Amino acid sequence: MKRLAFKMKLKPGCAEEYKKRHNNLWPELAELLKSSGVSDYSIFLDEETNILFAVQKIEAEGGSQDLGENPIVKNWWAHMADIMVTNPDNSPLTIPLRELFYLE
């Protein structure tokens, strides 16, 4: 199993709304992520910069950001677009991060 990390950007003043929406994650989205091999998925916030840091374990090559053709994911992205920095298709603007150290 591999780990994948990336960062995204939250719009100012939207941290509580972001947390609220993720605390009420759609069951069909959670099931899609799990059935696609995504597990142990966490998102952290740097409150000084509004940068979100995400890390997840993946069974295949692609992670959650590779599910963009799925209608559930497209609807979730549209649901989140008002509080995040996004691409024109509403997908979160993500920047992959390279792992330099890991201690198991």
Question: Which are the catalytic amino acids?
Answer: 22
Look up residue 16 and give its amino acid.
E
Q: Are 89 and 80 within 8 A, CB to CB?
A: no
The C-alpha atoms of residue 9 and residue 31 are separated, in whole angstroms, by: 25
